[in-house]
Amino acid sequence: MSPSSNINILFISDIVGRLGRKITKDALPQLKKKLNIDLTIANGENAAAGYGITEKVYNELVETGIDAITMGNHMFDKKDCASALERCPKIVRPANYPPGVPGKDHLIIETAKGKVAVINLLGRVFMQAVDCPFRVGAALIDKIKGDVPAIIVDIHAEATSEKYAIGYYLDGKASAVLGTHTHVMTADEQIMAQGTAYISDAGMTGAHDSVIGMEKDKIIARFLTQMPHRFEPVTTGEGVLNAVYLSVDPKTGKAKEIKRIFEIIPSAD
């Protein structure tokens, strides 16, 4: 891919556990070179044993070459996460948590081709009670868009309808609205009418022979019995890397291209 003045962005979706981190570490250098990537973002809310993130895992992801880490409903599953956030400056938490929650509600990153803002939002349908992602997202974009036209939004939500609605609501305001959380990549990537790139879910990076990165037998047992079973991430075997490539005009903030990346990684462990 030839160089251009557009900012080339790689978004790696929902890294699950140790296997997901290993896949990312092994695949990222080649992907960045192949796609001339200027900025790498990853959702890391499942990166530490499938639930949340730790300072150690954060450092591992940053050393891998990730420039910004978005989160989601497992943001504070690790008890020391809140106290470690000052030492983890590349983490952006969901902006629509209530006031007083620690962490950054957005990041602004300087690339060789211009600045990029990264925003993380939580959906509310079938999810925890948080502030309105529509209003919070739009207000935050209005606050920063004058200085940073290129804005990437990770909407971490369950319902496809809610994600689509936010995509349309932010069309022309954000450069991209990328869905996460379900760990199942959708095939509806598009550039909306006002120039916003959209996909309902960017998928996951973790074990291929699994249910959303977790041991399938325990999940099946829970469906069959309705008894609680602790979900554990698969740590060996074939892997899958799901990501989205974006090309964004740094002057207008309009998306010029969006492309799904779905790679099977044999014997990823």
Distance in angstroms (rounded) separating the CA atoms of residues 118 and 141? 10
Report the Cα 22 to chain-centroid distance in Å. 17
Using CA atoms, how far apart are residues 247 and 4, in angstroms rounded to an integer?
9
Q: What is the DSSP string of 51-98?
A: SS--HHHHHHHHHHT-SEEE--TTTT-STTHHHHGGG-TTEE-BTTSP
The closest of 42, 46, 53, 35 to 12, measured between CA atoms, is 42
Which among 86, 88, 93 has a CA at the least distance from the CA of 66? 88
On whether the CB atoms of residues 248 and 175 are closer than 8 A, the answer is: yes
Active site residue 74: yes
Single out the catalytic residue among 74, 156, 183, 208: 74
- Give catalytic residue positions: 74
